[in-house]
Amino acid sequence: MPRSFMFTKEEIVAAAVQLTREKGIDAVSARSLGEKLGASSRPIFSYFKSMDEVKEAIAESATEIYNGYIETEIKSGRYSSYKANCMAYIRFAKEEKELFKMLFLTDTSSEDVSDDSDENEIEEVKPLVKILQKQLNFSRENAELFFSETWVTVHGIAAMLATNDLDWTDSYILNVLNDVFTGIKYGIENRS
């Protein structure tokens, strides 16, 4: 007779995500997750080979949550597509601080960075660059430049919100983004 498990894989991932939200990814261990589940760590390893696999599942779930933020902002119709992506990123950082830190503020300097990771990053940016090309009537090169220069501000605001260095309202953030976007657009359009 097959063994029945007390928890499903989805319940374990949900508990791991909640633990990450509460204490950060570094607090997720077999012991702490078992405690969160009110059980030993045995059920965890019925579904996962290692805690690294659990953390990969947490990252996948966090990415789905983040993508939900993007979808919500775009569907709201309050902003242009690009600005909706920016505001979603910032709102995710503000409301899901630990998940944001795990996805976007992890030190990767000791990781083996291959050409594939650079290619993946470019693939992730392509849709935003295409939006900017259409929205601003920019060449691909100018849209990439606009993205690079504006994203520094977007990421900076998000990182400072996630680490409690800022406590700006959405309207103030929007004013800052409008000023930065206008200035960068003007600079690109008027380069000699």
C-alpha distances in Å from residue 64, one per residue of 17, 28, 93, 136, 155: 12, 19, 14, 29, 19
Question: In sequence order, what are the residues at sequence separation of 6 or more whose Cβ sits closer than 8 angstroms to the Cβ of residue 80?
Answer: 131, 135
Mean pLDDT (the chain, rounded): 91
Say whether pLDDT at 191 is over 90: no
Which pLDDT belongs to residue 118? 45
Say whether pLDDT at 182 is over 60: yes
Say whether pLDDT at 154 is over 70: yes
pLDDT in tens, 70-127: 999 999 999 999 999 999 999 999 999 999 999 999 876 665 555 454 455 567 889 9
| pTM over 0.85, yes/no | yes
Which pLDDT belongs to residue 142? 96
Structural domains in the chain, sorted by start: 7-77 (1.10.10.60), 79-192 (no CATH)
Largest CA-CA distance found in the chain, in angstroms, rounded? 76
Question: Tokens 């919500």 map to which residue?
Answer: 72
pLDDT in tens, 34-76: 999 998 888 899 999 999 999 999 999 999 999 999 999 999 9
Question: In sequence order, what are the residues at sequence separation of 6 or more whose Cβ sits closer than 8 angstroms to the Cβ of residue 102?
Answer: 20, 24, 25, 58, 59, 62
